[in-house]
A and B are shown apart, each in its own frame.
With several copies, the nearest count.
Chain A
Amino acid sequence: MLASVTHYIRSDVLKLLEDGSLLTHGAGQATRYAYAEAIVDVGRRDPRVVVLDVDVAKSLGTTAFAEAFPERAFNFGIAEQNMVAAAAGLATTGLIPFASGYAVFLTMRALDQVRNSIHYPRLNVKIASSHGGITPGPDGPTHQGQEDLSLMRAIANATVVAAADPLTTRLATSAAAAWEGPVYLSFTRDPVPYLYTDDYPFEIGKAVVVRDGLDATIVAVRDMVCQALVAAELLRTRGLSVRVVDCHTLKPLDAQTILSAAEETGAVVTAESNTIIGGLGSAVAEILVENYPVPMQRIGLRDTYAESGPYPDLLVKYGMSTAHIAAAVENVVERKRARA
């Protein structure tokens, strides 16, 4: 049996990975809440930080910031466009606004403001976006932010970050505050397991190899990193050594880490609960064909709307479960071997 070498993975998680119960028994937290906790600390350290809400402060937990710093919290009501453009105005005065809300409404209702008033003028606004991907299961498609990574990636001057667990979400929040210029942060509505140890070297733009492997690589983002880890463990029992890359920053993409993985493993699967069009899968496909074309397959929402239902059930029904990831890996490995 192959051994597994992982990096920055908590020891309790390793045990749960081995006995296959990480997704059912792992302790976790929705990353929206991790953000809401982190932004209070960030705000304490940096008085320039202000938090803007659009009547979903209670849903994200940013009410905690409003309680800690009432004069630095602004609830715009249900008016995403106004909040986003006002964030631009606040940023011109030297403040660092975190404009918080749901992915669907921030990246679609307010996209014109996001693009023309924040990214084109490169203003120092952070967009803190919950309900990314299909993590808001039971609410149904109108609340499932399945395109946020695709849409934000298409916007020039955007920096797009989607952390995989509560710890890295905290680190991402703090890194975003320190970053000069716009940053888009994508959070989960539903809990994801605590995955990482405190020494996780979070840096915007640097993907992290969290598991070694030589037969294939899974590049995953946000809520799909834990799924990728489970899939990799499953594949180990089937004799495949699979690398896992936590690609928390979609833009700027860490081309080096991904190209090394392509060169060293020769086969790539991407995993996201975003649509397979325009997000992580496309980002990786783009740099592979332009630099080192290898067999690749994308796991994601296959260009459809999902439906209401528990998030884990949706992953299964819509082709994003660990079994689907594992099958995709076997497929690319086969294609790689056929080419050799």
Chain B
Amino acid sequence: MTVDPGTMPSDAGSARAVVNGDLAPLTIAQLERMAGTIRCDIIEMICTAQAGHPGGSLSAADIVTALYFRVMRIDPRNPSWPDRDRFILSKGHACPVWYSALAERGYFDKRHLATLRRLDSILQGHPDMRKTPGIDMTAGSLGHGLSVGLGMALGGRLQGRDYHVWVVLGDGEVQEGSVWEAAMAAPRWNLGNLTAIVDCNRLQNDGYVQDIMPAGSLADKWRAFGWTAREIDGNDMAEVVRALEEARAGSTAPVRAGTMAPVCIIAHTVKGKGVSYMEDVAAWHGRAPCLEEAELALDEIRRACAG
């Protein structure tokens, strides 16, 4: 994959921080195309498996793409490199987006994608760090990831490693009290090397978050818990990249004397993003498309990328 230097990121600080193994960071346009590829993978995987969670995989596709193809310091040839950035998909049910990103990034052969949820597959129904190269943490029970990330961030600092820890949570998931335990603790230890990204796709399993358990302003909550919170359009690649790169750069910048607030990115997204009949439809939280539906979806995604 070659990159047009004219469209390279200009921020020198972030470019210096990013060591992307074999790959130079992608441009926004390239990232958008990659996100399309990943969306296609998601549809194909879930259709083949006839099970899985398309909605929350698609909504997070831009965030995960930006992380794996530009922002994170990783080396797919060395998945256990101690200085690598860590990624945790706390909303583990959305793992198809993660599996696709890892495969596209070269952690394992893309042919594995067709084995999702099959017996003996390396791709489990929920992320399993012991089975899949590149998976930094097992997930599936909602509400663990931010705490795990906090532990990774503490461990990094204690061992003098300057990696960054990225945790993606769901907007339903933040109803779990354990998330707020972690939210309270991260500022206490000034964990600027930890970034939470809430995929606010407005839907959870049973319906709209607003109907099930309205949260009011999530940003207000994170700020009240001591975080720097910012809201972005989580399906706008340029906005996503900017927010992530600033979060990473900020990890070395003290917010006020002696303290460093972790950053929470409230990413407003559309559940099922990219597939019109799935967008903002609760039913597609955990339902697999049939073959015809998948064809339709792939068509749409490809056309959007080409256009």
A and B touch in the complex (CB under 8 A): yes
A→B interface (CB under 8 Å): 50, 53, 55-59, 63, 71-72, 74-79, 81-95, 97, 104-105, 109, 112-113, 116-117, 120-122, 138-143, 307-310, 313-314, 317
Shortest CB-to-CB span from A137 to chain B, Å, is: 8
In angstroms, how far is the closest chain A Cβ from the Cβ of B50?
9
For B86, the chain A residues whose CB sits under 8 A away are 92
Closest to A115 in B: B141
Which of B62-70, B119-127, B291-299 forms contacts with chain A?
B119-127
> Are B119 and A308 in contact (CB-based, < 8 A)?
yes
Q: Are B119 and A82 in contact (CB under 8 A)?
A: no
A53 partner, pick from B123, B177, B206, beta carbons under 8 A: B206
Q: Which A-B residue pairs are the 5 nearest by beta carbons?
A: A89-B151, A142-B140, A93-B155, A77-B213, A85-B147
Contacts of A307 in B (CB 8 A): 119-120, 124, 131
Q: State how many angstroms separate the Cβ of A109 from the closest Cβ of chain B.
A: 7
Cβ–Cβ < 8 Å partners of A57 in chain B? 206
Q: What 6 additional pairs, Cβ within 8 angstroms, besides A74-B189, A82-B181?
A: A55-B175, A56-B206, A89-B154, A113-B147, A121-B129, A141-B124
Q: A56-B205, A87-B151 are in contact. Are A109 and B137 (CB under 8 A)?
A: no
Pick from B141, B152, B182: contact of A90, CB under 8 Å: B152
Which chain B residue shows the least CB distance to A117? B144
Complex CA distance for A307 and B178, rounded to whole angstroms = 26
Asked whether, in the complex, the Cβ of A90 is within 8 Å of the Cβ of B155, the reply is: yes
List the B side residues contacting A71 at CB < 8 Å. Answer: 158
What are 26 A-to-B residue pairs whose CB atoms are below 8 Å? A55-B206, A59-B286, A76-B181, A77-B172, A78-B143, A78-B173, A78-B205, A82-B177, A89-B147, A89-B148, A92-B137, A93-B161, A109-B141, A113-B141, A113-B147, A116-B140, A117-B141, A121-B130, A138-B51, A141-B140, A142-B126, A143-B126, A308-B118, A308-B119, A308-B124, A309-B117
Instruction: Given the known inter-chain contacts A59-B205, A139-B125, A309-B119, please indicate yes or no for A93 contacting B137, CB distance below 8 A.
Output: no
Q: Which of A56, A79, A91 contacts B175 (CB 8 A)?
A: A79
Which of B119, B121, B151, B154 counts the most A-chain CB atoms under 10 A from its CB?
B151
Contact B136 A116 (CB under 8 A): no
**In the assembly, what is the distance between CA of A52 and CA of B177, in Å?**
18
How far apart sit A144 and B153, CA to CA, in the bound complex (Å)?
Answer: 30
* Docked-complex contact B117 and A308, CB < 8 angstroms: yes
A72 proximity list for chain B (CB < 8 A):
158
- Which of A63, A92, A314 has the most B CB atoms < 10 Å from its CB? A92
- Using Cβ atoms and an 8 Å threshold, which residues of chain B touch A139? 51, 117, 125-126, 140
Q: How many angstroms between the C-alpha atoms of A67 and B239 in the bound complex? A: 41
User: Do the beta carbons of B125 and A77 come within 8 Å of each other?
Assistant: no
Q: Are A76 and B185 in contact (CB under 8 A)?
A: yes
Closest Cβ of chain B to A304, distance in Å, is 12
Question: What residues of A have a CB within 8 angstroms of the CB of B147 in the complex?
Answer: 81-86, 88-89, 113, 117
Interface size on B, residues (CB 8 A): 58
Contacts of A89 in B (CB 8 A): 137, 147-155
Query: Once bound together, how far apart are the Cα atoms of A76 and B154, in whole Å?
Result: 12
Q: Say whether B118 contacts A309, CB under 8 Å.
A: yes
Say yes or no: B149 contacts A121, CB within 8 Å: no
Rounded to whole angstroms, the CA-CA distance of A71 and B157 in the bound complex is 10
Q: B13 at the A/B interface (Cβ < 8 Å)? A: no
Contact residues in B for A56 (Cβ distance below 8 Å): 205-206
Assuming the A-B contacts A77-B212, A79-B177, A113-B147, are A90 and B142 also in contact, with contact meaning beta carbons closer than 8 angstroms in the complex? no
**Structural contact, B205 and A105, CB atoms closer than 8 A:** no
Query: Which residue of chain A has the shortest Cβ distance to B90 in the bound complex?
Result: A85
**Which of A58, A77, A94, A313 is the one whose CB lies under 8 Å from B185?**
A77
**Per-position 1/0 for B234-275, Cβ under 8 A of A:** 000000000000000000000000000000000000000000
The distance in angstroms between the C-alpha atoms of A91 and B137, with both chains bound, is 11
Interface residues of B in 35-78 (CB under 8 A from A): 49, 51
In angstroms, Cα B182 to Cα A203, docked, is: 36
Contact between B124 and A140 (Cβ–Cβ < 8 Å)?
yes
Cα distance A172–B189 when bound, in Å?
Answer: 31
> Smallest CB-CB separation from B174: which chain A residue?
A78
Report yes or no: B121 in contact with A82, Cβ–Cβ below 8 A.
no
From B136, B156, B159, B205, name the one whose CB has the most chain A CB atoms within 10 angstroms: B205
CA distance A104 to B205 in the complex (A): 17
User: Across the interface, which residues of B come within 8 angstroms of A314, CB to CB?
Assistant: 119
Please give, as numbers and ranges, the residues of chain A lying within 8 Å of B231 by CB-CB distance: none
A117 to B152, CA, bound (A): 13
Give the complex CA separation of A93 and B159 in angstroms. 9
Q: Is B150 a contact partner of A308 (Cβ separation < 8 A)?
A: no
Interface residue from A75, A81, A142 paired with B139 (Cβ < 8 Å): A142
**Contacts known (A57-B206, A77-B204, A89-B149); A82 close to B126, Cβ less than 8 A:** no
